[in-house]
Amino acid sequence: MTGAALLAKFVDFLNQREIPYMVVGSFSSNYFGVPRSTKDADIVVEMDADSWTRLARELPEGMNIEAQGFFEMVTATRKELISTEGSLFEIEVFHLSEDEFDQERFQRRVQVDLGEGVKTWVASAEDVVVQKLRWSERALRPKDFDDVVKVLYRQQDALDFNYIESWCQKHGSLEHLKEARAAAGV
């Protein structure tokens, strides 16, 4: 099963249980930008630890949760890791934090079809840009900057640059945004 199919299976599982979530990371930037390969999917869920524990017992067949969650340094939130039998693909599940931007982007998420026929909530294109710039600076990951350039290029006429610039100003990544815009020619 492909990574996209495994993600669709997990998203369908969340949709059936009406659990609020959004796909972030590479799958969201792939949707708005230029697709690249990835070994995992990142999802933010809005639920407390007790609800997560109950949900983890009901995971779809072939999906297993690591016994112990992790604290993710880049996002400063709790992360659960779901492995998939017969595949190296993993699903990283982050708990929605109280961070002002995390709350805002969760409210702004949009529903799309990522290509597997399952309606999926993803971060908006603007929020993908802002978050990828944060990750690019915090974790020093060039691939995130490249993702930003590709989203800016593909979505340039549809983006709310005032919104993006406002958050980049708050996060101290405005210069990085200017570099990305120059690289994208927008």
169-185: per-residue pLDDT in tens? 999 999 999 999 999 99
What whole-number percentage of the chain has pLDDT above 70?
92
* pLDDT score of 137 more than 90: no
H/E/C letters for each residue in 58-96?
A: CCCCCEEECCCCEEECCCCEEEEEEEECCCCCEEEEEEC
* pLDDT score of 112 more than 60: yes
**Token output for 103:** 């709350």
Per residue in 89-102, pLDDT tens? 999 999 999 999 99
* pLDDT score of 70 more than 70: no
Confidence category of residue 135, pLDDT binned at 50, 70, 90: confident
* pLDDT score of 73 more than 80: no
* Alpha helix ranges (H) inside the chain: 3-16, 25-32, 49-56, 100-107, 125-138, 142-155, 161-171, 174-184
pTM value is 0.89
Report the pLDDT value the prediction gives residue 153, as an integer from 0 to 100. 98
